[in-house]
Homo-oligomer: A and B are copies of this chain.
Amino acid sequence: MSKKVAVIRREHFNAAHRLYNQQWTDEKNAATFGKCSLPHYHGHNYELEIKVVGEVDPVTGFVMDLKLLSDLVSEKVLERFDHKNLNIDTEEFKTLNPTAENIAIVIHDLLRPHIDASLGLYIRLFETPRNFVEYPA
Please judge, given known A-B contacts A12-B128, A35-B82, A82-B35, whether A101 and B42 are in contact too, CB under 8 Å.
no
Q: What are 16 A-B contacts with C-beta separation under 8 Å?
A: A3-B135, A3-B136, A4-B135, A5-B104, A5-B135, A5-B136, A10-B129, A14-B44, A23-B59, A34-B67, A36-B83, A40-B85, A44-B44, A56-B105, A61-B96, A63-B101
Would you call B41 and A16 a contact (CB within 8 A)? Answer: yes
Would you call B42 and A43 a contact (CB within 8 A)? Answer: yes
Chain A interface main SS type: mixed
Copies of chain A in the complex: 6
Please judge, given known A-B contacts A63-B101, A96-B61, A137-B5, whether A40 and B88 are in contact too, CB under 8 Å.
yes
